[in-house]
Chain A
Amino acid sequence: MAQSASFDAGAVTDAVAEGISKIKSASTMEELKAIKTEYAGAESAMTQASRAIGGLPKDEKKGAGQLMGKLRADFGRAFGLKEAQVKAEEETRQLASETVDMTEPINRKPLGARHPLPKLMEDVEDLFISMGWQISAGPEVETEWYDFDALNFGPDHPARQMQDTFYVKGNQAKDAAGFVGSNMVLRTQTSSDQVRALLTRGVPLYIASPGRVFRTDELDATHTPVFHQCEALAVDKGLTMGDLKGVLDKLAVSMFGPEAKSRLRPSYFPFTEPSAELDLWFPDKKGGPGWIEWGGCGMVNPNVLRSAGLDPDVYTGFAFGVGMERTLLLRHDINDMHDLVEGDVRFSKQFVMGE
């Protein structure tokens, strides 16, 4: 464009008006850029006009300068508004183009699963911990003394023969009944930890002892030779069967909800006297709420306290044991023990990390 030294107010006003009108109809940044070059660039009428102000007589300079300032501001405002609008539109288009299907499964590193049984045992532990008790554990291969004799199952006690015990080979010694054996068994009950805990921890004692036990029952829908119990034992001054009932109700509620409760029925265990069967009021029982057998309990037999060197006239205690598998079967409406013991991943994955 030929250099023009003249200042034509009308022409530059028209040119800027034309530019603003183009800005208004522009829809992309490319268009806007081109308009900016054309109407505000070095070669534009506006730039030329600004430059031409220098050649005007002094008294015209001020008016021309004011005009140019206004035109420049009008143009800039129009451009700025449009630019913001176009940028926003472009961003919207851009983001729309990035749309994915959020329903596509993403499973780069799937979660595994805990087995519900140890999880349940942790829940039981947490209840006892919350009451200020301790969690204890005894060995699974256990001496007959801790599993039977210390618990008032003498060598000739009929109940000792009723336990379906796994005996362990090993170095042979005579037992008290003159039968030769290793005096070692796979523990038949977590009660085997009672006297161990009393001897090692002393009194007052408040422990729960969850763990694995063994009996020679073939695996079927309701039995398994390797299963889990949780034993609870409290020995202190002044404990009564009422305290036993209180703790059992707490456990029932924590396992089966606020409507659950416990009931005691007279029974017999060598290591408790008085003894009771423990029934659970199960709100979700099939065919309507009702009582179901849950475990055994009672006041610690004086002979057990004596096995631990305690004076039964000074200390009293209570103990109970519940089957963890049974609790789990009831809680989750599991119909077959096989599901609990076979380790099929489909079973455990139902529970994932929750529960």
Chain B
Amino acid sequence: MPMVDIDWLKEHVKVPAGLTYEQLAKDLVHVGLEEEEIHASQVTGPIVVGYVVDCTPEPQKNGKTINWCHVDVGEQYNDTDENGNKVPRGIICGAPNMAAGEKVVVTLPGAVLPGDFKIEPRKTYGHISNGMCASERELGLGSDHNGIILLNHYGLSKEEADALKPGDDVMHLLHLDQPVLEINITPDRGYTLSYRGVAREYHHSTGAAYTDPVVALNAKAPKGVAADKADIEVEIEDNNPVHGVPGCDRYYARIVRNFDPSAETPSWMRRRLIRAGMRSISLAVDVTNYVMMDLGQPMHAYDLDKICGPIVVRRANKGETLTTLDGKKHDLSVEDLLITDSPDGKRSSRILGLAGVMGGLYGEVTADTKNILLESAHFDQVTIARSARRHKTPSEASKRYERGVDYALQPAAAQMAADLMAEYGHGEPSDTPIDVDHTQPREAIDFKFTETKRLTGLDTSDKRIREILEDIGCKVSDGKEEGHISVVPPTWRPDLTMPCDLVEEIARLVGYDEIPITMPPAPVEGEVGLTPDQQRQRDVANELAEYGLVETLSYPFVGDADFKAFGYDADEIKPVSVEVANPLAGDRPYLRRDVLPTLAQTVQRNLRRGLENISLYEIGHVYLWDPNAPAIPALPGGQRPTEEQLKALDAGLPEQPLHVAAILTGKAVETGWLGESRDVDYSDALEAMNRVADRLGAKVQIVQPQPQDVPMQWHPGRAAKVMAGDTFVGMVGELHPHVNTALGFPEHSAAFELNLTALFATLSGKPVQAKPISTFPPVKQDLAFTVPDSVTVAQLQQIIEQAAGDNLESIELFDVFSGNQLGEHQKSLAYSVTFRSPDKTLTSDDTEAIRKAIVDKAETIGAQLRA
């Protein structure tokens, strides 16, 4: 993001003396330019002006010649001789341009240069060198390392240079002590990718006087002339506009002749470019970059002698390729916009570059270029954005074009570049530019003054609104109706298209802090409060935590390792899993279909950290891909899709039910002074699951499949389906020993997973209808039955409940055993039952009748009452 250098900013806006970067950041954030970072200076002093008193070349054995110099660095920093007199410092310098009588930059012991380069006195070439004369590169001011900085030839005026005395501080002179402010630019504010724009925003924030540099440049810039008299012929053709918008609506080109290719970029420009994060390359290139940073207009400089007119701006043809400046070869798309020229009379046969993105290898200015063709064009945002995205070549130019460049800026930008090339490179700008201009004046926005209050609550006067809009560059005239104005936004603000855009401008310039604080009226329609399902989700979460489990959240990403550990057939599960196209972890590109595999990763992490008895749960979504789902259509925003289109959007999405899963490992009860420990097994998972069901008031049944029908993740003899009526809602039991082993879990680690979406759907949500409480006395009995192994507890209990009818108050299994005395494949189930009648005291005859009914019914499933 762009750097803001106060020294450059003040070209366009009057900043107060002593403005700090901290204050600048505060001022800019107020109008919406956010501080990213204030980059502190990487240089500390003392760094001072030195006058070279003498300079003695000393040839060395290695063939080099070094200079033994004495440099006057002023009273404060000079050396002291044996007699206490101040004398110039002895300094060794290898630079070829070192000479007596020059004013140089001396970094003294104690100074620190970029890269944490500490200056110390050092013994070298038989002398003590007591400081260093610095080059531009050593100071971080540029790339020049051909010699040291000679202040008389460093872009200072003669008066300024003459005024420098030995010992004067150079840190400030060369901006070495200056930090620089990096700001964030939101995508709508392309114009603030320039000093012209940032300065205007600074003006909006502080009221400081602002001068738009473009006004003066426009006054100087020559108008385009007829094609036959112009510098070069330019044709724009577009057979494939994107969204019907031509790729190029303005192409302004102007020639600068007799440019001195050996001319150097002035130090101030180099310094500013470097502080802005650019490299200094050559005067011609630096000027185009400087103009881009200053005004926001990307420019291209061609070597005129290599270009054959006419220049044609057109879309690429199928099969065309281009190697860009960075050496990358691109297969071009018919949507790419190109700058081409016409060698050997073959019109548009040579590609010069990808318009607005990057130039090609041919045609660029070089170290020999004498005649320059300046391109200052306006390209369509979408066309440029797509090309930059397609070819993965974002550039400073494309960054600006895709955010929108001022479409009236082109002549002024070319004028500024031409001026700089004339001043510093002795170039001769032509007066016959070509200006192919198809831009359309902007439509006025019909703006109602009251819109500001309607959207923001701000009570801003009509007069103030007008002032603000004019200050941001709008042309305001009376509207068609009373209370309306007609607002033409400035050419550099493509983001302003709707009344609400203008409201934002007004609000941010008045200040968001001025907006009065109000509270919206509470809604009066519709249901309020959590929905039953939202409340249920909380109940599930709280119940499991109260039961002793710890809630966690895992990333929903899974891959081969998880499938393998859980015994899934990868070939079966992948086609029904949602796959991420650009996963962060290449080995986990899928989204989970159940929570257990990702919850297991969390359990593993805890175990690896030496924690024991880890019992966790997670509530989260799973994602069920349907390979036959229809493709999702692309629809435009800003208009309501039809009902059919809305259905088509959702039809392509995977189902994403909410699940809860728990894994229990280690001890269910820990050994302590209260008693012995007990390991987790299926019963703990079952109990936890039952607690959830009970808390929800869900009637679930445990249906235990035959071992061969139990899914691979589960222990074949210790797992069951959880059913809510006819709805399958999940599984509970011990994980398969293979799974426990693969995950490094203790034996008998247990788990459950419930589809909460499905379970909640079985709940009526109606209030519980309470039964009357009987106050007649209870009759308590124990009933023990011998049953075949194949009879389950649930079956027998159901029989007892049916037989006892309304008189059964409670039934509890209190003993289960099997043994030789019972016979083979038999087991004993003992229940403690309580009978109580709702409407009378049970007599012994009544009780005997109930008991007999139970015994008779139990016999139908082979259960015998034990004596």
- The chain B residue with its CB closest to the CB of A115 is B551
A330-355 CB contacts (< 8 Å) to partner B: 341-346, 348-349, 353
**Which has the most chain B C-beta neighbours within 10 Å: A111, A168, A212?**
A168
Main DSSP-derived SS at the B contact region: loop
Instruction: Tell yes or no: A16 within 8 A of B by CB.
Output: no
Assess whether B456 is in contact with A241, with CB atoms less than 8 Å apart.
Answer: yes
Assess whether B549 is in contact with A112, with CB atoms less than 8 Å apart.
Answer: yes
Residues on the B chain within 8 Å of A7, using CB:
none
Instruction: Tell yes or no: B220 within 8 A of A by CB.
Output: no
Assess whether A143 is in contact with B632, with CB atoms less than 8 Å apart.
Answer: yes
Instruction: A243 to B523: give the CA distance in the assembly, Å.
Output: 13
Instruction: Tell yes or no: A149 within 8 A of B by CB.
Output: yes
- The chain B residue with its CB closest to the CB of A106 is B674
Which one of A104, A110, A172, A341 contacts B631 once the chains associate, using CB atoms below 8 Å? A172
Selected interface stretch from A34-42, A43-51, A296-304: A296-304
Which one of B386, B609, B631, B632 contacts A344 once the chains associate, using CB atoms below 8 Å? B609
Instruction: Tell yes or no: A144 within 8 A of B by CB.
Output: yes
- The chain A residue with its CB closest to the CB of B185 is A268
- The chain B residue with its CB closest to the CB of A224 is B555
Q: What total count of A-B pairs have CB within 8 Å?
A: 309
Assess whether A344 is in contact with B605, with CB atoms less than 8 Å apart.
Answer: yes
Instruction: A201 to B547: give the CA distance in the assembly, Å.
Output: 37
The interface bits of chain B over 511-528 (1 if a CB of A lies within 8 angstroms of the residue's CB, else 0) are: 011011111111111111
Residues on the B chain within 8 Å of A93, using CB:
none
Residues on the B chain within 8 Å of A141, using CB:
578, 591, 623, 653-654, 656
B627-649 CB contacts (< 8 Å) to partner A: 629-641, 646, 649
Instruction: A241 to B620: give the CA distance in the assembly, Å.
Output: 35
Which one of B507, B512, B519, B528 contacts A134 once the chains associate, using CB atoms below 8 Å? B528
Residues on the B chain within 8 Å of A263, using CB:
512-513
Instruction: A175 to B656: give the CA distance in the assembly, Å.
Output: 24
Assess whether A343 is in contact with B385, with CB atoms less than 8 Å apart.
Answer: no
* Chain A min CB distance to B292 (Å): 18
Assess whether A158 is in contact with B520, with CB atoms less than 8 Å apart.
Answer: no
* Chain A min CB distance to B7 (Å): 26
Assess whether A242 is in contact with B457, with CB atoms less than 8 Å apart.
Answer: yes
Instruction: Tell yes or no: B372 within 8 A of A by CB.
Output: no
Residues on the B chain within 8 Å of A177, using CB:
386
Selected interface stretch from B97-105, B262-270, B610-618: B610-618
Instruction: A112 to B547: give the CA distance in the assembly, Å.
Output: 7
Instruction: A173 to B654: give the CA distance in the assembly, Å.
Output: 16
Instruction: Tell yes or no: A183 within 8 A of B by CB.
Output: yes
Instruction: Tell yes or no: A186 within 8 A of B by CB.
Output: yes
- The chain B residue with its CB closest to the CB of A201 is B526
Assess whether B553 is in contact with A117, with CB atoms less than 8 Å apart.
Answer: yes
Assess whether B34 is in contact with A267, with CB atoms less than 8 Å apart.
Answer: yes
Main DSSP-derived SS at the A contact region: mixed
A112-B498 contact given A104-B673, A183-B631, A268-B186, CB 8 Å threshold: no
Selected interface stretch from A17-25, A55-63, A269-277: A269-277
Residues on the B chain within 8 Å of A319, using CB:
none
Instruction: Tell yes or no: B23 within 8 A of A by CB.
Output: no
Instruction: A246 to B520: give the CA distance in the assembly, Å.
Output: 8
Which one of B186, B553, B653 contacts A343 once the chains associate, using CB atoms below 8 Å? B553
Instruction: Tell yes or no: B550 within 8 A of A by CB.
Output: yes
Assess whether A118 is in contact with B605, with CB atoms less than 8 Å apart.
Answer: no
Assess whether B515 is in contact with A173, with CB atoms less than 8 Å apart.
Answer: no
Instruction: Tell yes or no: B554 within 8 A of A by CB.
Output: yes
The interface bits of chain A over 229-243 (1 if a CB of B lies within 8 angstroms of the residue's CB, else 0) are: 000001010011111
A302-B498 contact given A111-B545, A242-B456, CB 8 Å threshold: yes
Residues on the B chain within 8 Å of A216, using CB:
582, 584
Assess whether A112 is in contact with B580, with CB atoms less than 8 Å apart.
Answer: no
Instruction: Tell yes or no: B621 within 8 A of A by CB.
Output: yes
11 inter-chain pairs at a CB distance below 8 angstroms, sorted by A residue, are A118-B553, A129-B528, A134-B526, A143-B632, A145-B637, A181-B581, A236-B521, A240-B518, A275-B504, A343-B552, A343-B553
Residues of A within 8 A of B (CB): 104-115, 117-118, 122, 125, 129, 131-135, 139-146, 148-159, 161-162, 166-178, 181-184, 186, 199, 201, 204, 206, 212, 216, 218, 225-226, 234, 236, 239-243, 245-247, 249-250, 263-268, 273-277, 299, 301-304, 306-309, 312, 316, 341-346, 348-349, 353
- In the complex, the 7 A-B pairs of residues with the closest C-beta atoms, listed nearest first: A266-B32, A309-B640, A268-B186, A242-B457, A343-B552, A274-B504, A343-B602
